[in-house]
Amino acid sequence: MENPELLLQPPEVRLGRLEALVARGVANDAGARAALLGTEKRPVPRVSKVFEEYEVLTKDEIKELSPNQLRVWRNSRMRAVENLASVVTDKPVNELTVDDGINYTEWWRERVLNENMAVKSANKDIGQLSRMLKDLSIRRRLNIPEIFRGLRLRGQTERSRMPFEPEFIQEKLLADGALDDLNEDARYVIYVVSETGMRPSEVVNLQEDAIRLDAKIPYVKIQPDGRKLKTEDSEREIPLVGVALAAMRLRPKGFDRYRDKSSSLSATVNKFLRVNGLRPTKDHSVYSLRHSFKDRLVAVEAPDSLIDSLMGHKTYKPKYGKGPSLELKLKYLQQIAFNAPASL
């Protein structure tokens, strides 16, 4: 606590610090006096140390991340801080200026123009830095200026993933033998995603106790299980029908090969689809199956609340009641179920 702030405290706080100096026998220690009497300036980290400081401040926020989620979370923010330090020099963070923010944004603009970097990547990087600096400023009382206000890049809209047509899924992806050259775990994940609309990361992280094949209505329960879900609404139950039920019966304990390795799963599947001509366009990926799932529910006139419940979407609406039952979910999933490959 610096001296101006200390002087605003009640007299007993200041007296307590004087007593502490005497009680601990450090009344003649210049460093101790400076620290307890407020004449020591608050330490200010340099730009290169922003992530280290931020990680300490957010321990409560990241405690539920799985090892892989934590790795991804750390790497992107560490990289952003390294980029910033290289562009604006490794100065104390309270010496950052709006000019530094403009210079950094222009550095990213040059990369977008000359290195084919995506605007989305630039804005994600800038957004992470803005959040880290803001939290550090507030929690450490450093008065760091908001150097990135109004400086996001424009000019590129994010394209949503293209959904597969239901006929393509049934006749191409689910054709007997179409996925035989793909390892079994990856193949079964495709089957489950196509029939349930689950995120690939949710499928590969299913634990044995979340797979209820013996229930009256077989279902899976998406729950944290050692990792943080994308949103609070992602925790949900989904009945198993068609190819998803057949696949989960072959993996009743889950997908050990890709547990906490969803990026590896996506890379493997997307490469397979590309190499084997199973992407109608370059904008299609394994995640497109999730978009197809929603379109198929809309086609059978499923209620919006049921679609949101199955998709695990954040609705920003007040929560009333228990939500759609397994029986109601099953009613609509049976209407859009695919026919399983003969060999499954």
> What CATH number has the domain bearing residue 239?
1.10.443.10
pLDDT at 317 over 70: no
Q: Is 293 helix (H, G, I), strand (E, B) or coil?
A: helix
Query: Stretch 86-96: mean pLDDT, rounded?
Result: 95
Rounded distance, CA 122 to CA 107, Å? 10
Name the pLDDT band for 318 (thresholds 50, 70, 90). Answer: low
Residue 106 lies in a domain: yes
Query: Residue 33 is part of which domain span?
Result: 3-37
Domain count, the chain: 3
pLDDT at 2 over 90: no
Question: Does one domain contain both 201 and 236?
Answer: yes
Name the pLDDT band for 320 (thresholds 50, 70, 90). Answer: low
Question: Does one domain contain both 63 and 212?
Answer: no
Question: Does one domain contain both 109 and 222?
Answer: no
What is the pLDDT of the chain when averaged over all its residues? 91
pLDDT of amino acid 226:
77
Question: Does one domain contain both 119 and 172?
Answer: no
Residue 109 lies in a domain: yes
pLDDT of amino acid 233:
73
Question: Does one domain contain both 131 and 263?
Answer: no
pLDDT of amino acid 311:
93
Question: Which pLDDT tens digit goes with each residue over 231-252?
Answer: 777 899 999 999 999 999 999 9
pLDDT at 155 over 90: no
Query: Stretch 122-139: mean pLDDT, rounded?
Result: 95
pLDDT of amino acid 124:
94
Rg of the chain over all Cα atoms, to the nearest angstrom: 27
Domain boundary among 93, 120, 139: 139
Percent of residues, the chain, with pLDDT higher than 90 = 70
Question: Does one domain contain both 230 and 254?
Answer: yes
pLDDT of amino acid 156:
62
pLDDT of amino acid 319:
67
pTM, two decimal places: 0.72
Residue 113 lies in a domain: yes
pLDDT at 87 over 70: yes
Query: Stretch 139-163: mean pLDDT, rounded?
Result: 83
Residue 270 lies in a domain: yes
> Which residues on neighbouring strands pair with residue 238, listed in sequence order?
220
Rounded distance, CA 197 to CA 199, Å? 7
Question: Does one domain contain both 174 and 313?
Answer: yes
Percent of residues, the chain, with pLDDT higher than 70 = 96
Residue found under tokens 């998406």: 222
- Which of 2, 85, 6 has its CA nearest to residue 46? 85
Question: Does one domain contain both 219 and 281?
Answer: yes
Question: Does one domain contain both 241 and 113?
Answer: no
| Across 3-7, 62-66, 145-149, 179-183, least confident range | 3-7
Residue 189 lies in a domain: yes
pLDDT of amino acid 200:
95
pLDDT of amino acid 7:
82
pLDDT of amino acid 34:
78
Going by the DSSP 8-state scheme, the letter that residue 211 receives in this structure is: E
pLDDT of amino acid 225:
76
Question: Does one domain contain both 64 and 191?
Answer: no
Domain boundary among 139, 158, 192: 139
Name the pLDDT band for 159 (thresholds 50, 70, 90). Answer: low
Tokens of 338: 């695919």
- Which of 165, 177, 173 has its CA nearest to residue 192? 173
Residue 14 lies in a domain: yes
Question: Does one domain contain both 105 and 14?
Answer: no
pLDDT at 316 over 90: no
Residues 6+ apart with CB under 8 A from 336: 166, 293, 296, 297, 299, 300
Rounded distance, CA 5 to CA 193, Å? 56
Query: Stretch 301-306: mean pLDDT, rounded?
Result: 94
Residue 154 lies in a domain: no
Question: Does one domain contain both 30 and 129?
Answer: no
Residue 62 lies in a domain: yes
Domain boundary among 139, 158, 185: 139
